[in-house]
């Protein structure tokens, strides 16, 4: 395909043209019969790079990692039938975590649709509930318009995944390409500019606060508003906490940062949320892992909720000041109003609030008992953080205990450096996400923190990492259990460890070597530092198998059915009254 836009081209060429027109330089995919016309068109050009994964779920997670770490839209290309259905987990993951993605799926020829043809699946029907929007293309002259519209929908408003299903005959047909000017549609018009009066109301409420807190989610990162948020928080002098997805939106090493909140968040963050009088929620959705039992969630506070998705406001928690709009634009307006009004805060009351917060902080709720004989997982991650601190690093994780420890013990001082599966909790996300991040940032350190159970979910993507010579570091916290499952079984099911022990694990060092990678293993705490340094110094990909304490649990923890101020801080509190605000 030439660089000049032709008047006519095949449907397959239109797919590639639209991706390039929308700033896509990389597509993650796996070929098959229904999409061979696109792969033939890919072969004839050099501008769009294709990354061949080993499973279509891997393609979606790689696109998520790419998108989350760059702020761009991820792109996926898969064939019909099982190729398309294998993307459902990644699409749902992107939907819940607001990750922009366009997934092009092949479909059987138009005249065979509905006949149970070979490798036919109703992917638009299957993905209706787990995509922001989806399309079945019926005319080659619609391919350009629909593709450009798909990118527009995926990236504007609350970001999310969009599926474009294209029959093979449409890909082969010749038609007229419609460019980006056709992308906007009357029925989709997300609000970016907030209502001025609602923002003024919010600022007035913030100014009167005596026990305020900023509660920040991934929406701030999606809006590219982290610097503006940091400025606003510093102007007010108020404390700030983030959700799991919001880590990095506010610097982790800032004195006003209270750490992550929620089920495994810090004591100070959860208690401050419980006792605040004004809660400023920017870009978070009151997830159940944050709120705990709803009737006990911050009952005495006035709540401000800033979100670009109007449907998220008042869906879970009733708020006092709803502000619909782009987080960046809202924060900029708040800063301007704060300066214009020359706000004088309740300094003595806020100082007393900070004193109370410092009392909670002194409890060191992320603390742990170290050991000279066995590696503690928290220690392993703190040492990893130590050796990464001076680098511009990226962390991806899978899901479970290691995920929570990585959120607690690694500092994220910049946005877009932390990639994890939040809403869906997808084991198998971490390694393909890491390869997507590494493709986007080829010279930066990318570490996948994972568990021995999670890594096996998409272990085949080791082949992709090796093929493209990606220097991804895979840091396995190996406790020979499905750790979070074991923890819940211990706490709530009488230590009946039903099917949570990981027997017959592979030798991860030999597995690495089988793929042509460096394999490392460490069991001795005294050798931990040297092993981490060797892993990070190696120029290519590494699997580092870190054998950690099998019995270690994640604390703090809000048990299921409890309010967010009813934290268990450690094993000594199990079986007794859980911590409440009167005992702090």
Q: Are residues 327 and 381 in the same domain?
A: no
513 and 419 housed in the same domain: yes
Distance (Å, rounded) from C-alpha 412 to C-alpha 407?
Answer: 9
Find the helix packing angle between 401-409 and 483-492, rounded to 10°. Answer: 100
The verdict on whether 119 is a catalytic residue reads yes
d(CA 536, CA 379): 17
Number of Cα atoms under 13 Å in the Cβ half of residue 568 = 18
The whole-number pLDDT of residue 182 equals 76
118 is catalytic: yes
Q: What share of the chain is helix, strand, coil (3-state, %, to 5)?
A: 40, 15, 40
- Is residue 12 within 8 A of residue 106, CB to CB? The reply is no
Structure tokens at 359: 């009392």
From CA 335, how far away is CA 257, in angstroms rounded? 19
* Residue carrying the six token digits 């963050």: 269
Catalytic residue among 118, 341, 492, 510: 118
Q: Are 30 and 78 in contact (CB under 8 A)?
A: yes
- 142 assigned to some structural domain: yes
Q: Do both 341 and 272 map to the same domain?
A: yes
**Residue that is last in its domain, among 121, 150, 182:** 182
- Token look-up 């605000």 returns 581
Q: Which of 119, 192, 444, 581 is catalytic?
A: 119
H-helix or E-strand spanning residue 397: strand 394-397
Same domain, 213 and 147: no
Report whether 473 contacts 445 (CB < 8 A): yes
Same domain, 18 and 166: yes
Question: Going along 137-236, which residue ranges are E strands?
Answer: 161-167, 174-176, 212-216
- Domain carrying residue 60: 8-182
Helix (H) or strand (E) holding 570: none
Q: Please say whether the beta carbons of 407 and 77 come within 8 A.
A: no
Residue 580 lies in a domain: no
11 close to 171: Cβ distance less than 8 angstroms:
yes
Q: Spell out the per-residue pLDDT of the chain, length 584, in tens.
A: 445 555 799 999 999 999 999 999 999 999 999 999 999 999 999 999 999 999 999 999 999 999 999 999 999 999 999 999 999 999 999 999 999 999 999 999 999 999 999 999 999 999 999 999 999 999 999 999 999 999 999 999 999 999 999 999 999 999 999 998 877 777 888 989 999 999 999 999 999 999 999 999 999 999 999 999 999 999 999 999 999 999 999 999 999 999 999 999 999 999 999 999 999 999 999 999 999 999 999 999 999 999 999 999 999 999 999 999 999 999 999 999 999 999 999 999 999 999 999 999 999 999 999 999 999 999 999 999 999 999 999 999 999 999 999 999 999 999 999 999 999 999 999 999 999 999 999 999 999 999 999 999 999 999 999 999 999 999 999 999 999 999 999 989 999 999 999 889 999 999 999 999 999 999 999 999 999 999 999 999 999 999 999 999 999 999 988 998 999 998 876 544 333 333 23
- The answer to whether residues 225 and 308 belong to one domain is yes
CA angle, corner 141, sides to 137 and 143, nearest 5? Answer: 45
Nearest alpha carbon to residue 145 among 189, 196, 185:
185
485 with 416, same domain?
Answer: yes
CA gap 137, 547 in Å, rounded: 51
Among residues 333, 361, 389, the one where a domain terminates is 361
Place of tokens 């994220």: 412
Catalytic entry in 431, 484, 535, 557: 484
Structural domain count of the chain: 3
Question: Residues 335, 426: one domain?
Answer: no
Q: Catalytic residue at 168?
A: yes
Which of 480, 479, 477, 497 is closest to 488 using CA atoms?
Answer: 497
Burial label, 62 (beta-carbon count in 10 A; 0-12, 13-18, 19+): buried
- Is residue 44, in this structure, part of any structural domain at all? yes
**Is 387 noted as a catalytic residue in this protein?**
no
Residue 190 resides in a domain = no
| 108, 165 Cβ separation under 8 angstroms | no
Contact in structure between 408 and 366 (CB atoms under 8 Å) = yes
| The two three-digit tokens of residue 454, written as one number | 């999670």
Angstrom distance (rounded) from CA 292 to CA 340: 38
Q: In the structure encoding, which two tokens stand for residue 291, read together?
A: 């709120």
How far from chain centre, in Å, is Cα 121?
A: 28
With respect to residue 250, please indicate whether it lies within any of the assigned structural domains: yes
248 and 145: one domain? no
Question: How many other CB atoms are found less than 10 A from the CB of residue 389?
Answer: 12
Whether residue 458 contacts residue 125, with contact meaning beta carbons closer than 8 Å, is answered with no
- The rounded distance, in Å, linking the Cα atoms of 143 and 126 is 21
Side by side, the strands of the sheet bearing 473-478 are 418-419, 394-397, 446-451, 473-478, 542-547, 518-522
- Residue among 155, 172, 154 at smallest CA distance from 163: 154
| Residue 49: its H or E element | strand 49-52
Domain match, 328 and 411 both: no
> What stretches of 341-494 show up as alpha helix (H) in DSSP?
347-361, 377-388, 401-409, 430-440, 462-467, 483-492
Together in a domain, 157 and 46 = yes
Flag whether 566 is in a domain: no
- The question of whether 484 is a catalytic residue gets the answer yes
3-state secondary structure of 176: strand
Backbone angles phi and psi of 42, in degrees to 5: -60, -40
On whether both 324 and 439 belong to a single domain, the answer is: no
215 pairs with which residues across the strands? 241, 281
CB–CB of 336/248 below 8 Å? no
What CATH number does the domain containing 283 carry? 3.40.50.1220
Catalytic residue, from 1, 13, 28, 168: name it: 168
Q: 446: part of which helix (H) or strand (E)?
A: strand 446-451
Q: Of the residues 137, 160, 182, which one is the last residue of a structural domain?
A: 182
Tokens for 300, please give them: 């005495």
Cross-strand partners of 448: 396, 474
The CATH number of the domain holding residue 528 is: 3.40.50.970
DSSP state for residue 294 in the 8-state scheme: G
pTM: 0.95
Q: Would residue 575 count as lying in a domain?
A: no
- Kindly state whether residue 552 falls inside one of the protein's structural domains: no
- In 3D space, the residue among 546, 547, 581, 548 whose CA is nearest the CA of residue 566 turns out to be 581
Four-point Cα dihedral 156, 124, 425, 513, nearest 10:
-100
């Amino acid at each position: 395909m030439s660089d000049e836009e032709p008047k006519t081209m095949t449907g397959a060429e239109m797919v590639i043209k639209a991706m390039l027109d929308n700033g896509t330089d990389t597509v993650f995919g796996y070929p098959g019969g229904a999409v061979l016309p696109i792969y033939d068109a890919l072969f004839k050009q050099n501008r769009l790079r294709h990354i061949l994964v080993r499973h279509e779920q891997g393609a979606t997670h790689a696109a998520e990692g790419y998108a989350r770490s760059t702020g761009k839209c991820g792109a996926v290309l898969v064939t019909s039938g099982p190729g398309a259905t294998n993307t459902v987990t990644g699409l749902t993951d992107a939907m819940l975590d607001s990750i922009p993605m366009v997934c092009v799926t092949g479909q059987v020829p138009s005249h065979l649709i509905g006949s149970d043809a070979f490798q036919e699946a109703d992917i638009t029907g299957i993905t209706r509930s787990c995509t922001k929007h989806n399309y079945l293309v019926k005319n080659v002259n619609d391919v350009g318009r629909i593709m450009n519209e798909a990118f527009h929908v995926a990236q504007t408003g609350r970001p999310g995944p969009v599926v474009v299903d294209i029959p093979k005959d449409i890909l082969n047909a010749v038609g007229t390409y419609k460019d980006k000017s056709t992308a906007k549609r009357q029925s989709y018009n997300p609000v970016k500019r907030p209502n001025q009066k609602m923002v003024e109301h919010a600022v007035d409420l913030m100014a009167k606060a005596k026990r305020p807190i900023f509660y920040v989610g991934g929406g701030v990162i999606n809006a590219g508003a982290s610097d503006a948020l940091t400025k606003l928080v510093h102007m007010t002098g108020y404390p700030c906490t983030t959700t799991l997805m919001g880590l990095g939106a506010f610097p982790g090493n800032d004195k006003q940062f209270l750490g992550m909140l929620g089920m495994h968040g810090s004591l100070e963050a959860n208690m401050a949320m419980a006792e605040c009088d004004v809660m400023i929620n920017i870009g978070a959705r009151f997830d159940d892992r944050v709120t705990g039992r709803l009737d006990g969630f911050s009952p005495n506070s006035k709540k401000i909720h800033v979100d670009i998705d109007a449907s998220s406001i008042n869906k879970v928690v009733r708020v006092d000041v709803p502000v619909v709009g782009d987080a960046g634009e809202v924060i900029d307006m708040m800063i301007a109003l704060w300066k214009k009004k020359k706000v004088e805060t309740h300094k003595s009351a806020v100082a007393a609030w900070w004193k109370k917060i410092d009392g909670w902080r002194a409890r060191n709720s992320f603390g742990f008992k170290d050991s000279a004989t066995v590696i503690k997982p928290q220690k392993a991650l703190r040492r990893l953080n130590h050796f990464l601190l001076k680098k511009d690093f990226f962390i991806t994780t899978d899901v479970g205990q290691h995920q929570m420890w990585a959120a607690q013990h690694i500092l994220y001082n910049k946005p877009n450096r932390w990639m994890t599966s939040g809403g869906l909790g997808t084991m198998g996300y971490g390694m393909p996400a890491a390869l997507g991040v590494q493709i986007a940032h080829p010279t930066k350190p990318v570490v996948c923190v994972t568990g021995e159970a999670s890594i096996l979910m998409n272990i085949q993507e080791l082949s992709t990492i090796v093929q493209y010579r990606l220097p991804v570091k895979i840091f396995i916290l190996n406790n020979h259990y499905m750790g979070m499952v074991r923890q819940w079984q211990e706490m709530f099911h009488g230590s009946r460890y039903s099917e949570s022990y990981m027997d017959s694990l592979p030798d991860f060092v030999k597995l690495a070597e089988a793929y042509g990678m460096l394999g490392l293993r460490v069991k001795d705490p005294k050798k931990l530092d040297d092993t981490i340094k060797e892993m990070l110094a190696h120029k290519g990909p590494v699997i580092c198998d870190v054998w950690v304490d099998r019995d270690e649990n994640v604390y703090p923890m809000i048990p299921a059915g409890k309010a967010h101020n009813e934290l268990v801080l450690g094993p000594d509190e199990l079986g007794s009254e859980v911590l409440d605000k009167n005992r702090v």
